[in-house]
Structure 1
Amino acid sequence: MIGLLSFALAVLASPFKSKLRLEAENAVLRHQLIVLRRRVRGRAQPTNNDRWFLVQMYRWFPSILKLATIVEPETLVRWHRAGFRCYWRWKSRPQGGRPQIDTELRALIRQMSTENQLWGAPRIHGELLNLGFEVAQSSVAKYMVKRRGPPSQGWRTFLHNHAPDTAAMDLLVVPTIGFDLLYAFVIVRLGRRELIWINVTAHPTAEWVARQITEAFPWNEAPRYMIRDRHRIYGAVVRRRLRAMGIRDKPFAPASPWQNGFAERLIGSIRRECLDHIIVLGEAHLRRLLKSYARYYNETRTHLALDKDAPLSRTVKRAGRILCRPVLGGLHHEYIRI
């Protein structure tokens, strides 16, 4: 009854349909009959040509969607979308023109632009040409890291550029076997963490400290800045000596040892790696120990801040027999190839 009613309504509505639409609906129904007659057993298996026909008819006449019986409407829509993707994949295929840039070259461009904040596309393009890469400057600008503001150096770069012209000094108190107090004076350059000077005295004075500064630096190798604490031993004599050598005196804030972190770190290393394991017999004994440790510190001991190199850079040797030399009586060891 329902089917008969649907047929009657379709007959009544047919005069109001366009001729092309009626022909399209008839073609879709006829093609579905052909697919069903071709079925051997089980479900109907439409071919690619069948899918293409139904998709094209759906594209031109969307109303035929309700006439699809051998497939679900969602399946027909899925076929249409898949065909749309295939069409635009074919439409977007490379047709010659400029070749694409390799992934490694794009990564190198991004690395250069990240590591060199002051470099623009022309500078990076010039470096790439010298490295043998044939690439356009516009491509370099395309793959550079985009920055919101003007290029600027970071604090790490700023401090690294000023470290070679900066030194720090401090005093270290050491008790002896007779409970007397000795004072070790150290000066360290911040650039390579090099221990420039170390000496010992039982009675430190401003004149003695000034003389140590003079002996530590030749007049043509004095640093630009000297960091120190506000101990009274750095009196007018020391300040005048620094001024005469062209060194700007930089005392840090009271009760702020972290502002002289390089010297404090050096003193901590001297204690942990040397003095905490040895009983000092006297001034000459302490001076000999510290001179030996200073040589080990500068020439052998590796530093994390220097990429595990020594302040006086060590050459890498890959051939030869390994020889072990004791330092500080065997407290540390030095390994070399001969």
Structure 2
Amino acid sequence: MRHQLHVLRRQQQRRPRLFAIDRLLWVWLYRLWPRCLEVMVLVKPGTVVQWHRQGFRLFWRWRSRSGRPSVEREIRDLIRQMSSTNPLWGAPRIHGELLKLGIAVSQATVAKYMVRIRGTPSQNWRTFLRNHAEGIAAIDMFVVASASFHLLYVMIILAHDRREIVRAAVTAHQTAAWLSR
């Protein structure tokens, strides 16, 4: 109570101005004697509790100010080199290789420093067809109704490299022997 009156006398303005030392004193007093909130005159009890919480926030912010440790330049260069020379390797594979070398970094760090490759690292479907067209054939089988409403079974084999019909066969009664021929 005496400290509260001293703070009131110190001020010339209408609203008393509180310093950090005053707040620390009341928070310390609250920690020692929680019932002191019943006799508070200058501040509301909720305000002291709020200052207490702010103090904890400030303490933990100060405590965790260092952040994550930085990754050495040699390790970053090694990650970039490994990802550029092996474009099919992802972050899990490079992370595993670094662990085998005795370099302890997280997989997220490896993903952060990997070289971004534009485009797909492997060939797409169109490139695959262009490279292997001479060895690929397409087979299509379908049913045609004749003018007399009989069903005819048709099989056509197409070569991709020249886009021409290699073989065509028609039958009214399909069998496994006909299909294998």
In the superposition, the TM-score normalised over structure 1's length comes to 0.31
**Are the structure 2 counterparts of residues 140 and 56 from structure 1 closer, same or farther at C-alpha, using a change threshold of 3 Å?**
same
The one of 86, 107, 110 equivalent to 1:140 is 107
> In the alignment, what sits opposite 1:74?
46
> 1:49 Cα deviation (Å)?
1.7
Q: Read off the aligned partner of 1:38 and give its amino acid letter.
A: R
Alignment map for 1:1-338 (pairs within 5 Å)? 29-94=1-66, 98-99=69-70, 121=92, 123-125=93-95, 136-140=103-107, 168-171=138-141, 185-187=156-158, 197-199=163-165, 204-205=169-170, 232=173, 236-240=177-181
Q: Is the 8 A contact 1:187 1:195 kept in 2?
A: no
* Alignment deviations for residues 11-48 of structure 1 (CA, whole Å, 9 cap, x no partner): xxxxxxxxxxxxxxxxxx11111111123232222122
- CA, structure 1 residues 57+136, in 2 after alignment: closer, same or farther (shift >3 Å)? same
Question: Measured at CA, do residues 119 and 170 of structure 1 come closer, stay the same or move farther in structure 2, by a change above 3 Å?
Answer: same
Give the superposition deviation at 1:59. 1.5
Residues in 2 aligned to 1:65 and 1:92: alpha-carbon distance in whole angstroms? 31
Q: Which amino acid aligns with 1:140?
A: Q
Map Cα deviations across residues 205-237 of structure 1 (whole Å, 9 max, x no partner): 47xxxxxxxxxxxxxxxxxxxxxxxx8457525
Give the letter for the 2:6 counterpart.
Answer: I
Structure 1: which amino acid aligns with 2:139?
M
Q: SS at the partner of 1:84?
A: helix
> By how many angstroms is 1:120 displaced?
8.8
**1:166 offset after TM fit, Å?**
8.0
In structure 2, the residue corresponding to 1:185 is in which secondary structure? strand
Q: CA RMSD in A?
A: 4.9
> Contact 1:186/1:199 (CA < 8 Å) preserved in 2?
yes
**Pair member with larger Rg:** 1
SS at match of 2:30: helix
SS at match of 1:93: coil
Q: Measure how far apart 1:50 and its partner are.
A: 1.2
Give TM-score, length-normalised by structure 2.
Answer: 0.52
Instruction: Report if the CA contact (8 A) 1:65-1:73 is conserved.
Output: yes
Instruction: Identify unmatched segments of 5+ residues in structure 1.
Output: 1-28, 130-134, 145-159, 175-182, 189-193, 207-230, 241-338
How many Å separate the matches in 2 of 1:127 and 1:232? Answer: 61
Q: How many residues align?
A: 138
Q: What is the CA deviation profile of residues 192-214 of structure 1, one whole-angstrom value per residue up to 9, with x for unaligned ones?
A: xx57644399x9447xxxxxxxx
Residues 196, 44 of structure 1: alpha-carbon distance in 2 compared, 3 angstrom cutoff: farther
User: 1:187 touches 1:197 (CA, 8 Å); kept in 2?
Assistant: yes
Matched AA of 1:87? F
Amino acid at match of 1:236: A
| Contact persistence 1:36–1:44 (CA under 8 A) | yes
Letter of the structure 1 residue corresponding to residue 180 of structure 2: R
